[in-house]
Amino acid sequence: MVSYKDLGLSNTKEMFAKAIEGKYAIPAFNFNNLEQMQAIVAAAVETKSPVILQVSSGARKYANQTLLRYLAQGAVEYAKELGCAVPIALHLDHGDSFELCKSCIDSGFSSVMIDGSHYSFEENIELTKKVVEYAHAHGVTVEGELGVLAGVEDEVSSEHHTYTQPEEVEEFVKRTGVDSLAISIGTSHGANKFTPEQCTRNEQGILIPPPLRFDILEEIEKRIPGFPIVLHGASSVPQDQVAKINQYGGKMKDAVGIPEEQLRKAATSAVCKINIDSDGRIAMTAAVREVFATKPEEFDPRKYLGPARDNLKEIYKAKIKNVLGSADRA
């Protein structure tokens, strides 16, 4: 049994309280390897932003849970070495069972998500409450979810949004004791968040997605004022990066994300955690493809993973400064 406190990690309680007060959001970036961890920590240090290192169960299977925990522990030391001990949380993304959440808590995670959004309201409450009881006994914070995002949620996929029903949030938060709540207001996982039919096209032929449902967010905020809200599926799918991928042999068709101005607006509300994974995947892939296409003689992984890491860091720094608003808040 390892406590996150002994690893120098932080839970999300203070991070979220400050984020709501300061009208910004904490970046939650997914990782499953060394280069992603380096890019995330360097971006957070260079912008002086608190950060959440996020691990999905798929990432855990891919990289090995013990190694990931040691990488997170290393992240804390790495931040100090880079010159700024920014607060770092290690968070389980889309936990789907009590056992998985418990295993993460026991191995040094400081925060877990229990995603019971695919269950009935009562089953979701029961499962979430059970996780909260165990987590809080260990000082670990818990994110619950109400409403279902369209797209792929880890191994579960859903074709349509089921927007969060504002009438349910107060009871859910009260009965479960969760520390934050992920909601569904029109974001969606992955790089193809909307079909072309759901979008309009501007004069340049670029797909413009339907706007987020800020009316639902406002209604939720009225019912649970000051309570930390989380946005999943918040990648913007930068079109210059997608174009680079396609220019160098990739095939990303009709990839479209959430416009950054809408995320900026959300970050000034009770939304205090914004999850970004796909944009990081896109940034790394664009850089790797460019090296493969322009320097076909290279075969040293450092020569393509290095540029991928640099590109990832730059994209994350820009997000922290221009979208999340969390720069200089560490």
Q: x/- string (CB under 6 A) for ligand 13P, residues 58-97?
A: -----------------------------------xx---
Residue type, 180: S
CB of 54 to ligand G3H, least distance (A): 8
* Contacts of residue 68, Cβ cutoff 8 Å, sequence gap at least 6: 31, 32, 55, 59, 60
H-state helical runs in the chain: 4-7, 13-22, 34-47, 57-63, 65-82, 98-106, 121-137, 166-176, 214-223, 239-247, 260-267, 278-294, 301-319
The partner in contact with residue 58, picked from ligand G3H, ligand 13P, Zn ion, none with C-beta cut-offs of 5 to 8 angstroms by kind, is ligand G3H
Please report the sign of the dihedral spanned by the C-alpha atoms of residue 253, residue 259, residue 260, residue 264.
Answer: negative
Q: What 3-state DSSP class applies to 205?
A: coil
Question: Between β-strands 26-30 and 51-56, what pairing exists: parallel, antiparallel or unpaired?
Answer: parallel
**DSSP character for 324?**
I
- Out of 46, 277, 279, 290, the only residue in the binding site for ligand G3H (CB under 6 A) is 277
Decide: is 100 part of the binding site for ligand G3H (CB under 6 A). no
- For position 69 contacting ligand G3H by CB under 6 A, the verdict is no
Q: Which is nearer to ligand G3H, 47 or 278 (CB)?
A: 278
User: Does 277 qualify as catalytic in the annotation?
Assistant: no
* Chosen residue from 275, 285, 311, 326 binding ligand 13P by CB under 6 A: 275
Per CB under 6 A, 47 contacts ligand 13P:
no
Q: Taking each helix axis from N to C terminus, what angle separates 65-82 and 34-47, rounded to the nearest 10 degrees? A: 30
By CB under 6 A, is residue 153 in contact with ligand G3H?
yes
* Of residues 28-67, those binding ligand G3H (CB under 6 A): 30, 56, 58-59
Residue in this structure with the two tokens 């090995």, named with its chain if needed: 64
Binding partner of residue 108 among Zn ion, ligand 13P, ligand G3H, none, CB cut-off 5 to 8 Å per kind:
none
Residues that bind ligand 13P (CB under 6 A): 30, 93-94, 189-190, 232-235, 275-279
Q: Which residues are catalytic?
A: 93
